[in-house]
């Protein structure tokens, strides 16, 4: 089954896409570990406890439950998990397994990054969003009230085990939210992937196995390639933030409770696509194709009570803002983007208002 490699200055690991890969978990466990801490949610555990217990095959382990939800992705929860690890006798030879959606893999990765100044983590994402984006690439962290993922660290996993089969237990809304991150990969780097999303949306929404595997593989391939080229987001990796500037503002403005991350990114991609056209970066035909494709996987929740100015007010605390200047990832055509700084606020307001009007 397909396997993609991330190579950075400090790590090299594979992201493997394979049905029932959990049954081969033992092959990815380091030889000398004292005990394993599986960080998960009760929902994921209800569905997959037996598969994980079988895979761990009697190895000493503890299951740590995280409440789930973007609003719980906070430092206090990481501290509570670390206390449970200490109480269970964790040491530097312990391993964390992140077993859940993108929120879980972000939190588990961050816990591993800072526990005893760093222990290994293995990621097993169970949502589409986790599989195609969050669990690959070593970004870990938690939210502040002021903004999304403002505390965090780069901590590369030992491996990322991706089983497309587990998506069958995923609520449809979560699945659709993950599709927006797939679409993002298409817009930024693969016209082929974009065309699959645009022309095979019915099969994708119906979760036909062949097409689901194909879009996961292409997204993971792109993610691994980009992270290998630029682990710490000094340059190329910034393209993965297409839709995230306004998307993060929307999540923070709604206190992380109204929109799933992928839904906020869908809104952000809509605004960024309008902005690219208004800024003269993107031809109208491509602009319309991207906007139509975003709509295919919607709708996202209503944006009642949100104004363009509220979102603009949030941009200053985005971690992508440098020297007071907001960066936008803007498509130049389908499959290619550019990074633009210092766009006129009036244009950003106009693009955001256009996305609000369309929602
Ligand atoms: N989710 C964006 C990145 O990993 O860089």
Is 237 near ligand 1, meaning CB less than 6 Å away?
A: yes
Average pLDDT over residues 17-42: 96
Q: Indicate which residues carry an active-site annotation.
A: 117, 139, 181, 223, 233, 237, 241, 244, 248, 261
pLDDT of amino acid 359:
82
Is 240 near ligand 1, meaning CB less than 6 Å away?
A: yes
Name the residue of 127, 140, 241 to mutate for ligand 1: max ligand atoms within 8 A of Cβ.
241
Average pLDDT over residues 110-121: 98
Q: What percent of the chain is predicted at pLDDT more than 90?
A: 92
SS3 131: helix
Q: In this structure, what are the phi and psi dihedrals at residue 163, rounded to the nearest 5 degrees? A: -110, 105
* Torsion angle of C-alpha atoms 345, 350, 352, 358, degrees rounded to 10: 180
Average pLDDT over residues 178-206: 98
Angle between helices 75-87 and 102-114 (to 10 degrees): 60
Contacts of 175 (CB under 8 A, 6+ apart): 127, 128, 167, 207
Identify the domain containing residue 136 by its residue range: 3-169
Atom of ligand 1 nearest to the CA of 223: 4
Among 72-86, 112-126, 315-329, name the one with the lowest average pLDDT: 315-329
User: Are 33 and 179 in the same domain?
Assistant: no
pLDDT of amino acid 322:
66
Question: How many domains does the chain fold into?
Answer: 2
CATH of the domain at 200: 1.20.1090.10
Is 139 near ligand 1, meaning CB less than 6 Å away?
A: yes
pLDDT of amino acid 294:
98
Tokens of 166: 């587990």
Is 181 near ligand 1, meaning CB less than 6 Å away?
A: no
CATH of the domain at 163: 3.40.50.1970
pLDDT at 321 over 90: no
User: Are 82 and 192 in the same domain?
Assistant: no
Average pLDDT over residues 310-331: 82
């Amino acid at each position: 089954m397909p396997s993609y490699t991330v190579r950075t200055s400090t790590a090299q690991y594979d992201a493997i896409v394979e049905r029932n890969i959990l049954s081969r978990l033992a092959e990815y466990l380091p030889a000398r570990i004292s005990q394993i801490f599986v960080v998960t949610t009760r929902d994921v555990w209800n569905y997959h406890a037996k598969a994980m217990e079988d895979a761990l095959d009697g190895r000493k382990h503890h299951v740590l439950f995280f409440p789930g939800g973007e609003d719980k992705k906070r430092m206090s929860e990481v501290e509570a998990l670390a206390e449970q690890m200490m109480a269970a006798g964790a040491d530097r030879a312990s391993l964390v397994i992140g077993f859940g959606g993108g929120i879980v893999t972000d939190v588990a990765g961050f816990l591993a990054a800072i526990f005893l100044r760093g222990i290994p983590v293995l990621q097993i994402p169970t949502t589409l969003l986790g599989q195609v984006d969050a669990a690959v690439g070593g970004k870990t962290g938690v939210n502040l009230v002021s903004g999304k993922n403002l505390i965090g660290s780069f901590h590369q996993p030992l491996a990322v085990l991706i089983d497309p089969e587990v998506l069958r237990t995923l609520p449809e809304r979560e699945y659709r939210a993950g599709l927006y991150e797939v679409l993002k990969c298409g817009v930024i780097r693969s016209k082929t992937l974009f065309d699959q999303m645009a022309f095979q949306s019915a099969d994708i929404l119906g979760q036909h196995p062949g097409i689901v595997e194909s879009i996961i593989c292409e997204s993971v391939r792109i993610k691994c390639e980009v992270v290998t080229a630029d682990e710490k987001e000094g340059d190329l990796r910034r393209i993965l933030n297409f839709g995230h500037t306004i998307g993060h503002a929307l999540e923070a403005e709604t206190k992380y409770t109204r929109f799933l991350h992928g839904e906020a990114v869908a809104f952000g991609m809509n605004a960024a696509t309008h902005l690219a056209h208004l800024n003269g970066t993107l031809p109208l035909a491509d602009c319309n194709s991207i906007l139509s494709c975003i709509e295919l996987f919607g709708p996202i929740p209503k944006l009642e009570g949100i104004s363009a100015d509220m979102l603009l007010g949030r941009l200053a605390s985005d971690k992508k803002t440098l020297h007071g200047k907001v960066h936008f990832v803007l498509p130049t055509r389908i499959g290619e983007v550019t990074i633009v700084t210092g766009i006129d606020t009036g244009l950003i307001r106009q693009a955001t208002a256009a996305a609000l009007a369309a929602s």
